[in-house]
Structure 1
């Protein structure tokens, strides 16, 4: 019997359905795949030791993607269309964790993602560093398969 080893967290890709460019799937970091409940406190009469915390609604974090700046990116065109022209076109986004053979292990399907923020790292003539762009998306929910 072989023991289970957790998968590595560095072999993944991010798929945008409107982009056919393989470079648009490569990101240095992906964060924000979080989900939690908002709660509401209810105080029960006669019970002074605690308050009941009841789940109200589900709350999802913003998806943050970081990579070296890419020139000619369809994802960045999608962002600039939203910010410049106020043309917000929601999109599905898939974050796919892969095994050593490149086969999907787990897929997070993000629904109704829209651009929220685009940041380009500081340009500094005193440093020898890659220009990094960070894009943030807000979304409704995600499913895991």
Structure 2
């Protein structure tokens, strides 16, 4: 029965997570402040049955997922992650787009992996720098958005 609950019987906090790219090695600059877009949704098709006015059939069609978004403070241009984004988004399609697997892991307080999601054949599609404001004392934030073929949860 104890294995059914997380530490202390409470849901895990969402602030202790890791992100890895490609072969699973931790890229030195892969520390992100926020991850969003971990979702699956089944698309349905409405089919009206002739003579039946009480309801409309909702038939399963396909699985869709939003783009994966990663936010962090702006980092150095010589990092492998930034190089991948630059090559893909600033390469004018002269270089091949190189998809990679992105793995997001939610960790417990002791560092054990509680949940993990793999995003297969991911590649950057947007690289956004949040606005600058001289009246605020905030860190400059970049947001990287990735498309992917499919995702799978491994825990």
TM-score (structure 2 length as normaliser): 0.86
Q: Distance in 2 between matches of 1:77 and 1:67?
A: 16
CA 1:77–1:61: 2 relative to 1, 3 Å: same
Q: Structure 2: which 5+ runs fail to align?
A: none
1:38 aligned to which of 35, 43, 59? 43
Residues 14 and 20 of structure 1: CA distance in aligned 2, closer, same or farther (over 3 Å)? closer
Task: Give the superposed CA RMSD.
Answer: 1.7
| TM superposition score normalised by structure 1 | 0.91
Please name the residue that 2:71 is paired with. Answer: 66
Tell me the distance in 2 between the aligned counterparts of 1:61 and 1:103. 27
Separation (CA, whole Å) in 1 of partners of 2:26 and 2:110: 22
For 1:21, the equivalent position in structure 2 comes to 27
Aligned-residue offset at 1:37? 1.2
Unaligned runs of 5+ in 1: none
Count of residues in correspondence between the two structures: 144
Distance in 1, Cα, partners of 2:17 & 2:26? 17
Q: Distance in 2 between matches of 1:12 and 1:141?
A: 21
